Copies of this chain bind each other. A is one copy, B any other.
Amino acid sequence: MAGHDPLLTDLYQLTMLQGYRASGIGREEAVFELFFRSLPPQRNFLVACGLDMVIDFLETFSFSPADLDWLSSRPQFDPAFVRSLAGLKFSGDVWAMPEGTVFFAGEPVVRVRAPLEEAQLVETRLINLIHFQTLIAAKAARMRLAAPAAVLVDFGLRRCHGGEAGLLAARSAFIAGFDGTSTVRAGERFGIPVYGTMAHSFVQAFAREEEAFLAFARSHPGPVVLLIDTYDTVAAAGKVARVARRLAAEGREKKIAGVRIDSGDLAALSVRVREILDRDGLGDVRILVSGNLDEHSIRALAASAPVDGFGVGTRLGTSADAPCLDCVYKLVESGGEPRFKRSSGKATLPGVKQVFRSRGPDGRISDTIALADEEVDGEPLLVPVMKGGKRIFSERLETARERFSAQIALLPDELRQLSAAAPVHPQLSSALASMASAVAGGTAVRVTKNA
């Protein structure tokens, strides 16, 4: 419904474009950087996500004749200006952190160098794509840290904010260590493993619970996960054993791969259910739980209960404890001059920047934000992804997932905990610090973590 749509933008992007053109500066080269000003206290790091969609968006940007007709009818625009938008494309160069990169407040994640009017015009959707997917990847990462060995599946679509959010949340969670999703389109579009169990309504639609279990298992070509909490969870676990025997007698061996518990005291119930299944020779039937889980309840269950997997919906798909981040896209250079903004509490660092990551002898990450043309030790995190408006970077989703996995493994322990660690402050190179101080007339600029 929404998709990559040039009118899915703020009105001011178009009125500013009109202003740039009228002033003759629309084609001056400008550089914008997208970064996160601060992290919420309950996030020790973020995970870059959404770049692939950004490149698609920028590469295919154009106005349709119908869009231009509509704009022409608006009082905000000069019809000659609107006509001049036909054929406008994004022609710039883009550098970015590849998806799955762990990063911190203040670090540029995407850098756009393009004619001022183009770089400005794409701001809204660029933030919209990176902000949300990074938000979900960072939340999913915490869940993965909470249960390193468990199966984690995204069940969030129904309570995500709209359809696109559901689709992209599945992908973001997969990059940040989830095993799969229940969202079918995410399987088809992105090749993510798709998982599913059954709903209470299926059980309710049959006169007897056992009948529902049998009907589901018989109709399903593969192994199934049965939902056992519609009426009485412990009683249902006993029925699972009878159903398994019945299926085995029909030649359907090993048909029941797991059971799901979606309500009640999940820790206590999983212990009872495990005992019943084991007693009945169903030691390889796995126990999955779901129902308003977050990283804290996942950690508690993973540590103490016989739970093999977690279906995580609402709190993942909305990043419920921190549903938004302070993500901005700011002009840092135009006409070859560094630019900055002094607004109270929202000051920005001027100049075209790069992030260099090095690792001390203790293995700790140390990031330095520097000017892009400086020579600084460490690995540069921003890589070229578009040149002259064309994509020059693409990778398999698995590659982003492996990058995340490798980077998360190397984070210091205090950042891998769920509790708030002392915030990471990337260093500023001396050249960047000097430029900031010269341009801003001495205004101290520091990247901080909000309380």
Which residue of the partner chain B has the closest CB to A3? Answer: B1
A221 in complex: contacting residue of B76, B129, B339, CB < 8 Å? B76
Q: Are B199 and A1 in contact (CB under 8 A)?
A: no
Of A9-17, A96-104, A245-253, A276-284, the one with at least 4 CB within 8 A of chain B: A9-17
Are B219 and A155 neighbours in the complex by a CB distance under 8 Å?
no
- In the complex, what residues of B have CB within 8 A of residue A16's CB? 198-199, 201-202, 216
Contact of A368 with B by CB under 8 A? no
Is the C-beta of A396 less than 8 angstroms from some C-beta in chain B? no
Which residue of the partner chain, among B5, B18, B116, B318, contacts A324 with CB atoms under 8 Å?
B318
- A residues 187-219 with Cβ under 8 Å of B? 187-188, 194-202, 204-206, 215-216, 218-219
Q: How far is the CB of A46 from chain B (nearest CB, A)?
A: 14
Distance (Å) between the CB of A407 and the closest chain B CB? Answer: 25
A157 to B340, CA, bound (A): 24
Cross-chain contact A184 with B9 (CB below 8 angstroms): yes
List CB contacts (< 8 Å) of A399-414 with chain B: none
Partner of A23, one of B127, B219, B231, B334: B219
In contact, B159 and A162 (Cβ under 8 angstroms) = no
User: Which residue in B11, B167, B323 is a CB contact (below 8 Å) of A319?
Assistant: B323
Q: Which residue of B123, B194, B221 is within 8 Å of A11 (Cβ)? A: B194
The tally of residues in A whose CB lies under 8 Å from a CB in B reads: 111
Chain B residues contacting A340 (CB-CB under 8 Å) are 204
Residues of the B chain whose Cβ atoms lie less than 8 Å from the Cβ of A132 = 160-162
Beta-carbon contact of A2 and B185 below 8 Å? yes
- Is A446 at the interface (CB under 8 A from chain B)? no
A343-351, A352-360, A422-430 - interface stretch: A343-351
A314 within 8 A of B: yes
Q: Does A21 contact B (CB under 8 A)?
A: yes
Residue positions of A touching B, CB distance < 8 A = 1-5, 7-16, 18-23, 25, 28, 30, 32, 67, 70, 74-78, 116, 120, 123-125, 127-129, 131-132, 135, 155, 157-169, 182-185, 187-188, 194-202, 204-206, 215-216, 218-222, 224, 229-232, 262-265, 314-315, 318-320, 323-325, 327, 330-331, 334, 339-346
